[in-house]
Amino acid sequence: MTRNSIIISGVMLLVFGFIYADTFTKEDVIRWQKEFDAAAKYGRQLWENSASFKLGTNNVACAQCHPNATNTHPETYPKFQKQLGRVVSLAEMVNWCIINPLEGKPLKLDSKEMVALLAYIHSERRGVKLAPGKH
Amino acid sequence: MSRDISRRTFLGRSALGAAAALLPVTLVNVVFGQKKGGAAQKAKAAGDKTDFTFAYISDAHIQQISGNKFVRNWDQGLKRAVAEANLLIPRPDFVMFGGDLGQLGKKEELDHGAEIMSACKYKTHYVMGEHDFYLDMGACWEKLFGKQYYSFDHKGVHFIVLNSILTYDSWNKKWPSAMERMVQMAGLDNPLGSPFMVGEAQRKWLAADLAKVDKNVPVILFSHSPIQKIYKGWNFWTEDAEKVQALLKPFKKVTVIYGHVHQIQYNQIGNISFNSVMATAWPWPYPQSYALAKSSLPVLTVPMNRADPFFERDATGWQFIDVNSGKVAANYLLTDNENRTVKYNRKTGRPEDVKYQNKRTAAQEHY
């Protein structure tokens, strides 16, 4: 390292002080958790009131067959879905349900709604060991 | 041919699934009848009454989309059950409908459900479900089907129908509208719901009704919710279950048959055998599948197979119930899956699956 670059680095350090890429505070963690909780809460609303959010076209709600998001088994995905003959993600199965029992159009995989549904499903399955591929 | 063997033949044929589906439906017969010769004399000497069969259809959840459009999936479940029940030979003595004919208790839903049920060729008795009730507290249902609780006698068995899905008055009155109340109760996992109960007035009626019945007469009680406590979070539960059980305790042969749970359950508590019935609409997960809560599925229950959502009717169905000397064999006719029979075992004194009681399969594991 040249003398100049050391000086420049020193100046930069003085100017930008204590900013480091992965430093965070307790407040940050609380805020981020709140962001997740808000997504899961929105997911629960979509789950219960699927019709008012126009997930489907026939008034059927996710919660009718999956109370508390049970029988979704998020811990087992991705897995070989025998009915489809390939390894799929949970999001694809969510869309399968939206297309079939709910008679709706699939969500974009990175849409706010899909992410919220996944957040809700996972939040109801806290503490269950990951078991990717399990049937 | 004895009743048992011919019944097994029927179930065996149906269990072939695809093969059975290829048979002309008129060939799917059950041939059984009265006990003959020595068996009949023996039964008469033992004080047995005539054996008979009734069909049980439940939880149709007919759901209006708008106008004259209804959810096709649920409509098909009920239509199929009615069509199949009509094919039972010999004819069942009557049909029970176990509650939740509608989804939100609307006149349109109950009317449409009643119309589908009108294709049923037999005398039909109805049980009230919460989905039929909480919009107008059962008014529309009563006009169609009569009293919310009642009893009748048939071939030496005393049958009782209860409305077990009542709840606290304070809860009923807390909602801004009737539809809001209905929607809140319709959500199975809704923490703002309220526990089911038979209630004091009905228990008083039940005590008076039972007072007229000889203690040796078999009693079969129909309710929508289980008159036992399995999981409160989803109202697999009746708040005053123990009080109702106490009223049934003096009787020698008692069976409670309930809907609501959309899955096979059975249990034995003291003198009382419990059998659930399937939904025609959709299956529900077993409560142990909810990892964040504690529940108590009866240990006796061998669960039904885990549902395959790609088969629309899988884990739905209906049942015909054989009453044999006052105790019950529930024959579950499971569309798109292997049929099951849960029969009271006189040796062990409890209902048992005739095939899987001590031989569970991987597909019966729920998690």
Partner residue facing B292 (CB), from A60, A73, A124: A124
DSSP A135: -
* Residues 6 or more apart whose Cβ sits within 8 Å of residue A58: A51, A102, A103, B63, B65, B71, B72
CB B227 within 8 A of CB B258: yes
The pLDDT value recorded for residue B277 is: 98
Percentage of the residues of chain B whose pLDDT score is greater than 90: 85
- C-beta contacts of B186-192 below 8 A and 24+ residues apart: B186/B103, B186/B104, B186/B130, B186/B131, B186/B134, B187/A48, B187/A63, B188/A63, B188/A64, B188/A67, B188/B234, B188/B235, B188/B284, B189/A63, B189/A67, B189/A68, B189/B233, B189/B234, B190/A48, B191/B233
pLDDT per residue as tens digits for the range B13-68: 444 344 344 333 333 332 333 444 454 455 444 445 579 999 999 999 999 999 99
Partner residue facing B289 (CB), from A57, A59, A71: A71
In this predicted structure, the answer to whether residue B198 has a pLDDT above a threshold of 90 is yes
B191 close contact with A: CB closer than 8 A:
no
CATH classification of the domain holding B224: 3.60.21.10
Does the beta-carbon distance from B65 to A65 stay under 8 Å? Answer: no
Handedness of CA B102, B107, B109, B111 (dihedral sign): positive
| Cα dihedral B188/B189/B193/B196 (nearest 10) | 60
Does the beta-carbon distance from A59 to B71 stay under 8 Å? Answer: yes
Enter the tokens of residue B26. 């008129």
Which residues of B are less than 8 Å from A90 in CB distance?
none
Partner residue facing A126 (CB), from B282, B292, B310: B292
Separation between Cα atoms, residue B77 and residue B59, nearest integer Å? 10
B332 close contact with A: CB closer than 8 A:
no
The pLDDT value recorded for residue A13 is: 61
Which of B190, B303, B287, B193 shows the shortest CA–CA distance to B239? Answer: B193
The pLDDT value recorded for residue B26 is: 32
CB B75 within 8 A of CB B51: no
* Domain A24-123 part of CATH 1.10.760.10: yes
Q: Is residue B121 one of the residues assigned to a domain?
A: yes
Which residues of A are less than 8 Å from B63 in CB distance?
58-60
Residue B334 sits at the vertex; the CA angle it makes with B291 and A101, to the nearest 5 degrees, is 60
pLDDT per residue as tens digits for the range B107-133: 999 999 999 999 999 999 999 999 999
In this predicted structure, the answer to whether residue B322 has a pLDDT above a threshold of 80 is yes
A85 close contact with B: CB closer than 8 A:
no
Q: Is residue B363 one of the residues assigned to a domain?
A: no
* Residues 6 or more apart whose Cβ sits within 8 Å of residue B129: B59, B98, B99, B100, B101, B165, B224, B259, B260
pLDDT band at B3 (very low <50, low <70, confident <90, very high): very low
Residue B58 sits at the vertex; the CA angle it makes with B287 and B341, to the nearest 5 degrees, is 75
Does the beta-carbon distance from B72 to A100 stay under 8 Å? Answer: no
Q: Is residue B305 one of the residues assigned to a domain?
A: yes
Residue B140's identity, in one-letter code, is C
Please state the domain count of chain B. 1
Q: Is residue B367 one of the residues assigned to a domain?
A: no
Domain interval for residue B161? 3-356
CB B323 within 8 A of CB B292: no
Which of B93, B1, B98, B23 shows the shortest CA–CA distance to B52? Answer: B93
Does the beta-carbon distance from A59 to B309 stay under 8 Å? Answer: no
Residue B311's identity, in one-letter code, is F
A41 close contact with B: CB closer than 8 A:
no
* Residues 6 or more apart whose Cβ sits within 8 Å of residue B73: A60, A101, B281, B282, B312
Give the closest-approach CA distance of A96 to chain B in angstroms.
9
The per-residue pLDDT of chain B, averaged, comes to 90
The pLDDT value recorded for residue A23 is: 84
Phi/psi for A120 (5° steps) reads -65, -45
In this predicted structure, the answer to whether residue B173 has a pLDDT above a threshold of 60 is yes
Separation between Cα atoms, residue A122 and residue B292, nearest integer Å? 12
Give the closest-approach CA distance of A67 to chain B in angstroms.
5
Ramachandran sector of residue B100 (left: φ over 0; alpha: ψ -120 to 50; beta: rest): left
Collapsed DSSP state (helix, strand, coil) of residue A107: coil
Which of B108, B104, B206, B235 shows the shortest CA–CA distance to B148? Answer: B206
The pLDDT value recorded for residue A14 is: 62
Collapsed DSSP state (helix, strand, coil) of residue A15: helix
Give the closest-approach CA distance of A68 to chain B in angstroms.
6
Q: Is residue B365 one of the residues assigned to a domain?
A: no
Does the beta-carbon distance from A59 to B293 stay under 8 Å? Answer: no
CB A132 within 8 A of CB A77: yes
pLDDT per residue as tens digits for the range A90-109: 999 999 999 999 999 999 99
Separation between Cα atoms, residue B15 and residue B24, nearest integer Å? 15
Separation between Cα atoms, residue B62 and residue B72, nearest integer Å? 9
Which residues of B are less than 8 Å from A125 in CB distance?
291
CB B315 within 8 A of CB B280: no
- The low-confidence residues of chain A, meaning pLDDT below 50, are none
In this predicted structure, the answer to whether residue B345 has a pLDDT above a threshold of 60 is yes
Give the closest-approach CA distance of B284 to chain A in angstroms.
6
pLDDT per residue as tens digits for the range B69-106: 999 999 999 999 999 999 998 899 999 999 999 999 99
Interface test with A, best of B189, B230, B261, B294 (most A CBs within 10 A): B189
Interface test with B, best of A58, A72, A93 (most B CBs within 10 A): A58
Give the closest-approach CA distance of B292 to chain A in angstroms.
7
DSSP A55: S
pLDDT per residue as tens digits for the range B251-275: 999 999 999 999 999 999 999 999 9
In this predicted structure, the answer to whether residue B8 has a pLDDT above a threshold of 60 is no
Q: For B252-284, give one letter per residue: b (16+ CB within 10 A) or e.
A: ebbbbbbbbbbbbbbbbbebbbbbbbbbbbbbb
Per domain, the residue ranges of chain A are 24-123
Q: Is residue B249 one of the residues assigned to a domain?
A: yes
Q: Is residue B362 one of the residues assigned to a domain?
A: no
For A65, which residue in chain B has the nearest alpha carbon?
B284
